[in-house]
Amino acid sequence: MKEDHKNEFMSWVKTIIFAFILVFVCRQFLFTPITVKGESMSPTFEDNQKVVISKTSKIERFDIVVFKSPNMKDNYIKRVIGLSGDKIEVKDDVLYINGKAYEEPYLKANKEKILFGQLTEDFTLEQNTESSRVPEGYYFVMGDNRLQSYDSRMFGFIAKDELLGEVKLRVYPLGRSGIIK
């Protein structure tokens, strides 16, 4: 009977160790939870919301990503605007990528709050980064709250290896939880 308790105990220990290893591998290589800090992505994401990022996603234009801050120890959450080789410009509050105008429906709520002026100041990539195109292996990112976002317009491009992953799921607050598209 004592042997049965010992076997059951060892079975539980093995199961718990396996669970910890599985969680560690998933967090390191597949996905991880992140807490949003700041208002730069408002209203898409608010301060202290919890999201899950995928570390295996292929990053595309307008994806929301988390990356290591270029200037601090924190992580930033922003929207990918420019991919390698892209030419970026904003003129009269319209985003142009490689000469083509793009609608940014995620900016609508912030644009409605402005009494006068523009949400996004006019700029060209060259004015802000001294490069006419996004270099190979880099991204150009901006926050949705353009008036209060510290992003590539100020600190330049983000290297692909600085990316932690793409935001795939909002888990908190529960009333706004769901898959991010």
Question: For 91-141, what is each residue's pLDDT tens digit?
Answer: 999 999 999 999 989 888 888 888 777 888 888 888 888 888 999 999 999
What are the catalytic residues? 40, 78
Task: Decide if 157 is inside a domain.
Answer: yes
Residue 181 forms part of a structural domain: no
Does residue 80 fall inside a structural domain? yes
Note the pLDDT tens digit of each residue in 56-87: 889 999 999 999 887 777 888 999 999 999 99
For residue 23, is it within any domain? no
Q: In the chain, how many domains are there?
A: 1
Task: Report if residue 18 sits inside a domain.
Answer: no
Residues 6+ apart with CB under 8 A from 53: 31, 32, 33, 34, 65, 66, 164, 165, 166, 167, 168
Q: Are the C-beta atoms of 78 and 151 separated by less than 8 Å?
A: yes
Full DSSP string of 45-76: S-TT-EEEEESSPPP-TT-EEEEE-SSSSSEE
Which pTM value belongs to this model?
0.82
Report the CATH number at residue 142. Answer: 2.10.109.10
Domain extent for 168 = 33-173
Identify any residues that bridge with 75 across adjacent strands, giving them in sequence order: 68
125: in domain: yes
* Tally of helices (H runs) and strands (E runs) in the chain: 4, 12
Average pLDDT over residues 134-153: 92
- Does residue 48 lie in a domain region? yes
The pair phi, psi for residue 110, each rounded to 5°, is: -70, -35
* 7 in any annotated domain: no
